[in-house]
């Protein structure tokens, strides 16, 4: 992450974190709520996220946003590498 920040912005910042709370039981595991999120996301956006990585990340991001973890107007960048 720091390398990507330096390449994009010329410096690294500490205003980011890795969230481990949305693994749904571990690698390549899923639960019905993740499948429901994937279906809803695909309907809304026309994109079906991969359930092993992408959907888990997006689910967690949307959950944090809904919980008020970010101030209104916050710019969020989600990186999947």
Range list of H helices, 1-81? 2-9, 32-45, 54-66
The Cα–Cα gap between 58 and 69 comes to 14
DSSP H or E run through 26? none
Q: Which of 78, 74, 59 is nearest to 4 (CA)?
A: 78
Say what the pLDDT of residue 32 is.
97
pLDDT per residue as tens digits for the range 22-76? 999 999 999 999 999 999 999 999 999 998 999 999 999 999 999 999 999 999 8
* Confidence check: pLDDT of 19 > 90: no
Dist CA 32 CA 21 (whole Å):
16
pLDDT exceeds 80 at position 14: yes
């Amino acid at each position: 992450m720091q390398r990507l920040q330096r390449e994009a912005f010329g410096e690294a910042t500490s205003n980011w974190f890795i969230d481990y709370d949305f693994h749904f039981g571990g690698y390549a595991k899923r639960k019905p709520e993740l499948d429901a999120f994937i279906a809803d996301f695909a309907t809304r956006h026309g994109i079906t996220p991969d359930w092993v990585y992408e959907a888990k990340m997006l689910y967690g991001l949307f959950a944090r946003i809904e919980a008020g973890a970010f101030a209104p107007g916050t710019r969020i960048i989600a990186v999947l590498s």
